[in-house]
Amino acid sequence: MKTMLNVALPKGRLGEKVYNMFEKAGFDCPSIKENNRKLIFENEECAVRYFWVKPSDVAIYVERGAADIGVAGKDILLEYTPDVYELLDLKTGICRMAVAAKKDFRDNLQRPLKVATKFTNIAKNYYTSVGRDIDIIHLNGSIEIAPILNLSDVIVDIVETGTTLKENNLEVFETIVPISARLICNKSSFKFKNEPIEKLLKSLASQVAQEK
């Protein structure tokens, strides 16, 4: 029996796009396209098994070896710094991590800046690097509401099209870091399942290069 390559994909549009890239690389698994609520799919012939997981959990599966390979946003990698190899920038899922606030926001340097975010580590590292004291407020979603209700002065969040900010009368004040999807790999899988991983990596890298 061939050794299976276990792949954690982020559930949603990004995951579907990335699956198509894996398929082109020779790791197809037709059952994944049947629209049902299953979360695990395998194709013994290609020796591959896919899991749909919550995007922010992909790195946990890969770090702990439940998956050999996965696709995670750079935001998650910067926030949680999982002990994995980052093999390739897939140049998709492109967005940026930014500081946003109400249009009339002016920073008052006399007091700590109140920052609402899901990404507390990214926010802390950024404000440490610019030498600004902050009061961090951890939220789990709908971050854009925080400055509107004066819960915070600013937010640190993902901006993709900018529509969410615009519709809530907020604007970007600073871009912290560009974000895109990355191929990540469990460190021991990289050693012990090197052959299929290298095959996959080579094909994905050439697909990314062709898309340029």
Q: How far is the CB of 207 from ligand PRP (least distance, A)?
A: 25
Residues that bind ligand PRP (CB under 6 A): 141, 143, 157-164
Cβ pair 10, 55 in contact under 8 A: yes
| Rounded Cα distance, 170 and 165, in Å | 5
Considering the complex, state which of residue 5 and residue 170 has its C-beta at the smaller distance from ligand PRP. Answer: 170
Q: How far is the CB of 200 from ligand PRP (least distance, A)?
A: 26
> 104 CB contacts (<8 Å, ≥6 apart)?
none
Considering the complex, state which of residue 119 and residue 127 has its C-beta at the smaller distance from ligand PRP. Answer: 119
Considering the complex, state which of residue 165 and residue 200 has its C-beta at the smaller distance from ligand PRP. Answer: 165
How far apart, in Å, do the first and last CA atoms of the chain sit? Answer: 38
| Rounded Cα distance, 187 and 197, in Å | 12
| Rounded Cα distance, 111 and 192, in Å | 53
Cβ pair 114, 153 in contact under 8 A: yes
Considering the complex, state which of residue 180 and residue 207 has its C-beta at the smaller distance from ligand PRP. Answer: 180
Q: How far is the CB of 95 from ligand PRP (least distance, A)?
A: 7
Q: How far is the CB of 34 from ligand PRP (least distance, A)?
A: 26
